[in-house]
Chains A and B, each alone.
Chain A
């Protein structure tokens, strides 16, 4: 099967197969999938916000230390 097709043909077939699978799901399954995407997005955004806040705090601390050394 795989030996009889080129890489491009394989990718096209695999993509078409996945598309067909996604399309064949029921509406309820698709909406549940959107709900999972939204929940994952919320977690990712929250994580990013925390990471940025922590980095901001660290940068502030570094700046203060540097300012202190300059004064010293």
Chain B
């Protein structure tokens, strides 16, 4: 994991990307109990070209030059495939901007805040994402008022209310 994070930090240092933030199950595992996952999700700001298309070529090429090995849509560093994902929604862009600076061992990195991890999971909406939000609520790992505010801004209030009802109903 250190290899992945050091490579991402180098991308920022070399100005290949402005910044990045870890999301997904690895990001969530910073706040709650470990969740099974096969990859690391790193989100970056990705300006659209004039054609409206997005290309991650420069990032993947830089990652390969840092020792990463191409593996389908991933770049593998040791045991961990890294997937670089663009800011597809305003919510993701906000999450990257407001990510928390934390340490993985002695490696500094940025991870989505708990409220943003939950809001993005609600937006993505797969069963495993909803389960993840339930885990945050159950483990009191997110500021509920702050999450409600973010959810309101992204029209996710109903989805959040449903998970809250499920979790609190189960208590």
Contact = CB atoms under 8 A, between A and B. Distances in A.
Contacts of A25: 33-34
A31 B2 CA distance: 11
B34 A34 contact: yes
B64 to A, nearest CB: 23
Given A19-B139, A23-B139, A38-B79, A31 B33 contact: no
Contacts of A41: 36
| Chain B contact patch, size range | 10 to 19
Interface residues of A, number: 14
B38 to A, nearest CB: 6
Given A27-B104, A28-B104, A34 B35 contact: yes
A35 B36 CA distance: 9
Contacts, number: 43
B102 interface: yes
A30 B29 CA distance: 7
B115 to A, nearest CB: 17
Nearest to A28: B105
Interface string A33-55: 11101100100000000000000
Given A35-B79, A38-B79, A30 B34 contact: yes
Interface of A: 19, 22-23, 25, 27-28, 30-31, 33-35, 37-38, 41
Interface of B: 1, 25-26, 29-30, 32-38, 79, 102, 104-105, 138-139, 141
